[in-house]
Structure 1
């Protein structure tokens, strides 16, 4: 799958919930740039700063194409491990790598070395997937999966090691590209800190990073950065029969108080 600039920006827009544009220094525009850090926090815990009406992505600072990988026609079924956990590679998807190397103060060991290997290396984190966009989080917050005392498996940040769970329509974001006219699903590919993760007793394919009720916003951010780190956006073309509801790529006001209630939500 070949991804041009427009489709990549559309994919980020779908996850982020606000229309984004590619930033070009040659235009001379003083732009509000979306950082990788703000994007990751927004998609994981649904909290967003007050952003300008127009937001831009500096592709050179946001994406890291040397680590892109095309899984769309993957035929290798060999099992492999990451962080001493079974890693089933996302067959049928294309990974757009995010620029996260050097982002965290504890270094890059959590990512492990680049390239194909079947084994884990010391210090790397297991792979998990997170299929909820900001729009999805606002819908999920109304269900029994929401953060708080009624959360099904406990309050915190949810993800899954099974991409088939993450891509279910109730979790994954679907959008129709204005560029290609085709429909796509997008989810996040992450690494999760095994020291911060719990495996849910009734659903082993649900992984939980617990966050106690009443945790401050500053502490929530710290927990996120220590526990779950997206490093790629996975995108897959889907047929009309598979698509389900389609998210519109349009500018939305998402910063009101009610929407920001999803401090930590069921974010598969």
Structure 2
């Protein structure tokens, strides 16, 4: 597959999202291992494009999404948030977050998240919005927006209640608690908890199983199920993103970011 969407980075550096193929499987890899694959705006845009490229590739039947190094995705790049009060990009009506979630939901080909390490915040949302999630047994997953003074607006408020019910969703989203793999699988948040040494083998075995089936039947079945997710996202996402946008302008958010970078407890006033 020809790569035509590389961002402007230093010549010696790789793109922040890689797209490779293994037989009939396209592998999309978040590639900022030094930042635990935290997502900055260029990576945000490139991830969306890589997924669309894989979906449009006529030789691809299954897409695997994973992270380079020891993490799947640590979420938004917190170190870049200090002083930041906007995430939509100036005069945009809809945020980049809405664009990415809409794109993931509308991908026709089955997408398996191979969660090889921590998946937090936006990283958790991205994984959970895909079709099947295999989580390494030494990984943890959770949405810690509240811990940096933000509303869980980038999709967490839409997908978590669908997967685990409103009560559990509120417990996890309002505390920002991280969940181990076994618990995540037992409550239905992810499809399976898999021994770390077997994760890749099991994910690609599933990819091969899906690829061997009649492709239209697989894709149309996925599209039918995803109608519920599309309706939920349409009801929830714009409002929750608007709340998140407002929370970015609070003093508590800036204090939370400073506390994170300074490795101390935050002191919050409700402003």
If the length of structure 1 is used for normalisation, what is the TM-score?
A: 0.28
More helix by share: 2
- Per chain length, whose mean CA-contact separation is higher, i.e. which structure has more relative contact order (CA < 8 Å, sep 6+)? 1
